[in-house]
Every structure is written in structure tokens, then in C-alpha cells.
Amino acid sequence: MPTDVAIETLGLRKSFGDVHALRDVDLAVGRATVFGLLGPNGAGKTTAVRILTTLLRADAGEARVAGLDVVRDARKLRGQIGLAGQHAAVDENLTGFENLEMVGRLYHLGRRLARERAGELLDTFELSDAGRRLVGSYSGGMRRRLDLAAALVARPPILFLDEPTTGLDPRSRLELWSAIESLVRDGTTVLLTTQYLDEADRLAHRIAVMDHGSVIAEGAPHELKARVGGDRLEVRLERADDVGAAIDALAPLFGEGARGEAATVRVPLTKRQGATAQAVRALDRVGVGIDDIHISGPTLDDVFLKLTGHAAEEEDSDETDSSARR
Ligand SMILES: Nc1ncnc2c1ncn2[C@@H]1O[C@H](COP(=O)(O)OP(=O)(O)OP(=O)(O)O)[C@@H](O)[C@H]1O
Ligand SMILES: [Mg+2]
């Protein structure tokens, strides 16, 4: 494995009964970069993370992390990686400080060093004030931050984050994003899973889109967005009957790409600037009432629609008949 590759998989496969969680997954993650595994519920993201963190064995294929085989060198590898799982794995009956101290002791840091490191990390994640409180009283965002801190106790060069910001409020999300960015600036490699295109776009150098256990697209965020299309203007009308009139009024400004659905009209934009004001004026001129108007970027759903021709589906709509599995 070249030294600039931190994580590499070749033909990874894993099934649970007749559910193909991973089908021949090939990934390569550069050192000190962020790699985003993007996919809907049931795509296989957590399965991939569990295999890469030695918690689960693949049925076939190979995976190397930090140059170590995930099966043959599992024990050695565990000292090189940190994992913050999809559900925060912190102990509610301990304080934040005690949680981190315990992890330090598990890594044989010794009492003094473990306590030092705990204090340092609480500081980094702005949990110092809450550090003496039981985790049971923490908010979701605080637990996530503590979980991430726990994954960092041993200063692992490679970090796995499984949906790190799911369920967080916008502010906690931003805080976690900047914490991740600063780790990567200091040389950490991060593989993160997410269901949010904007999250992958903001953090990841490369993104692999997963669907039903397969990687269906891979590239830099800007490549992916170029394939999917850019921003769109969304106008919710006061009356659904006005959809036709609205499309006609907007066509001279934005071209023919506008689509209507119920009382909402969506128009692909080549340029954001001035689009909202122009649209409001044009609709006003023809007497179409606007309930809401905003510009939105592409979402995971848009990616799926473009790449697969269907919306992101949940695991039950796998081609294996889900009723046959019950
Ligand atoms: N231990 C297991 N036993 C049976 N089926 C499993 C097991 N783990 C995962 N699966 C199935 O494998 C598929 C992939 O699951 P996985 O948890 O990897 O998806 P995911 O992309 O992480 O989804 P989510 O976004 O919901 O976390 C799903 O159909 C899931 O039900
Ligand atoms: Mg998952």
C-alpha cells in the first residue's frame, strides 16, 4: 500500500442472511484527508465502518487501515484508530471527566496522564463546565462531543465517525464540523458517514455515494455536485392553480427547466445572485401570490435521483422482497 493511503478496501463483501449489506466495495482514503461515505438508511455505511474498525469480519475482500490488515493485524490496528459510533457510547452514570479518564485508563495512560488528557479534551470540546456533571444530564449535542472526545483520547491517527451530526441542532453541528476540520489540519485521517450532502460537501475531500451496499459514484464534492446540478429556486405558491402561470412567468428569466409539483415550483439556477428578487417581481407582475421563496442546494435525494433515477430508498425496498424475510 502506498504510504499516502490511510484506508484501502478491495472487493469488500458482507451479507446478513439474504441482505447484501456490502457488495464488492473498493475504497481508497488519502492520509490526512476526510473521506465521506454518503448514503441513505441501510446503504451499508455502518457495516463498512464496523469492518474497518475490526468489530465485524467481512465475508470476502480485503481491507487495510494504516497499512495493517483489519483481520490479521486487528489487535495492533486498534491502537491506531478511534471510533465515534452512530449512537454515543458514553456512560450516563459517570461524569464527562470520568468517562474520558476511564477511556485513558483503558489505553494504559496511567492515572495522572489519563486525568490530564481528560481535562484537555473537555476543554477542546467546550465541556469543561459540564465535566463534573453526570452525562445523564447532558444534551444530545454534548454527548456527541463527549463521544468524539473519547475517540480522541489515545490520539489516533485515523478516526471513524459514523453519522457524527445526526440529531444535532444547527449550532452543535457547526461546532462539530470545525472540531473535525481542526483535527484534519493536524494530520488526522477521517472517514465519516453521513446522510447529508451538505455535510459531506463541507468536510470531505472525496465522497463515495452508497446505495444498497454498492458504491454508485465517487469523486470530489465539486465533481459530484456538477453531475447532480447546482442550486434551485423553490417557490411555494399561495394557490396550486397558479403553477402553470408561475412557470410561464419564470421561463423568460431562468429558461425552460422549471417543474411544478402541488403548489411548489422548482427552477434550476445557473446563478444565485438576484434570482429571488427577479422571481418575486415577475410573479408579482402576473398576480401570482407567493407563500415562500428560497434557494436550496442539491440534497442527497437529488444525488440519488440523478444517479439512480429513483429517490433514496430505505432498506426495506431492497430488491430482496422484505416480506419474504419476515
Ligand atoms: N447485524 C445485522 N443483522 C442483520 N442485518 C443487518 C445487521 N447489520 C446490518 N444489517 C443490514 O444490512 C444493511 C446495511 O446496514 P447498515 O447498518 O450498514 O446501513 P447504514 O448505511 O449504516 O444505515 P443507517 O443510515 O440507517 O445507519 C441493512 O439492510 C441492515 O438492516
Ligand atoms: Mg448506520
Write the DSSP assignment of 2-55 as a string of letters: -TTEEEEEEEEEEEETTEEEEEEEEEEEETT-EEEEE--TTSSHHHHHHHHTTS
**Proximal ligand: closest to the CA of 43:** 1
Residues 6 or more apart whose Cβ sits within 8 Å of residue 150: 84, 89, 90, 99, 100, 103
Contact criterion met (CB below 8 Å) for 144 and 127:
no
Q: What is the pLDDT of residue 316?
A: 47
Residues 6 or more apart whose Cβ sits within 8 Å of residue 326: none
**Phi, psi values for residue 325, rounded to 5°:** -85, -15
* Residue 73 to residue 135: CA distance in whole angstroms: 34
Strand partners, 268: 232
The pLDDT mean for the chain works out to 89
Q: What is the pLDDT of residue 314?
A: 54
* Residue 311 to residue 305: CA distance in whole angstroms: 5
* Residue 230 to residue 201: CA distance in whole angstroms: 13
Domains of the chain with CATH codes: 5-227 (3.40.50.300), 231-296 (3.30.70.2470)
Q: What is the pLDDT of residue 318?
A: 42
Choose between 283 and 310: higher pLDDT: 283
Please report which confidence band the pLDDT of residue 313 belongs to, taking 50, 70 and 90 as the band edges: low
Q: What is the pLDDT of residue 101?
A: 96
Pocket test for ligand 1, best of 12, 13, 16, 215 (most atoms within 8 A of CB): 16
Report percent pLDDT > 90 for the chain.
Answer: 63
Is the pTM of the predicted complex or chain greater than 0.85? no
Each residue's pLDDT tens digit, 105-139 = 988 889 999 999 999 999 988 899 999 999 999 98
**Proximal ligand: closest to the CA of 196:** 1
Spacing, Cα 281 to ligand 2 middle (Å): 45
Q: Is 235's pLDDT higher than 80?
A: yes
Pocket test for ligand 1, best of 47, 51, 83, 193 (most atoms within 8 A of CB): 47
**Proximal ligand: closest to the CA of 38:** 1
Q: Is the CB of 47 under 6 A from ligand 1?
A: yes
